[in-house]
Amino acid sequence: MQNGREPRRGLWRVGLVILLVLSMAGCGGFKIVRIPIPIPTFGIGGGDKTARRSSEEYRGPKEQIGLASWYGREFHGKRTASGEVFDMNAMTAAHPTLPFDTRVRVTNLENRRSVVLRINDRGPNVRGRIIDVSLAAARKLDFEQQGLAQVKVEVN
């Protein structure tokens, strides 16, 4: 023991280790935060009566003009937001706000072709688009090759 410094140096090292352990304890773990997501009941089990409003009760715009896109193969056979299985050959569409089972007339403004579709999904998930139609609908509207079309959507 020279000049009485060894015990102090050891104590300083122990203090440093304790400080490091305590500082790492606050950063060391992940906290899982669960965000509650409402599960639609689709009229089963007496859930929220407003969860599935009819098109007569819909208070949003009855007509929209904007870009439509289509979806098909990659979602075929998967569940839609309404709970049904997506069929790319059915005359259906995805809309961000219209109630499920609402019938809409979609008109391609370039060629004036129109179809009546049933809303069974949520989307589109791309900014600037107002509706996603099934592959069958895109074929009838004649924009399968382009992928996008300027359309008018009218609630029936």
Res. 100: pLDDT tops 90: yes
Token look-up 């900014």 returns 127
Instruction: Give the pLDDT confidence score for residue 14 in this predicted structure.
Output: 81
Q: Count CB atoms within 10 A of the CB of residue 82.
A: 19
SS3 80: coil
Distance from the Cα of residue 109 to its chain's centroid: 27
The pTM (predicted TM-score) of the whole model is: 0.64
What is the chain's mean pLDDT, rounded? Answer: 81
Q: What is the CATH number of domain 63-155?
A: 2.40.40.10
Residue 47 tokens read as: 């859930």
Q: Where are the domains of the chain?
A: 63-155
Q: What is the pLDDT of residues 2-56, one digit of tens each?
A: 555 566 667 778 877 777 666 665 555 555 555 565 555 544 444 434 344 555 5
Q: Give the CB-side neighbour count of residue 146, counting CA atoms within 13 A.
A: 13
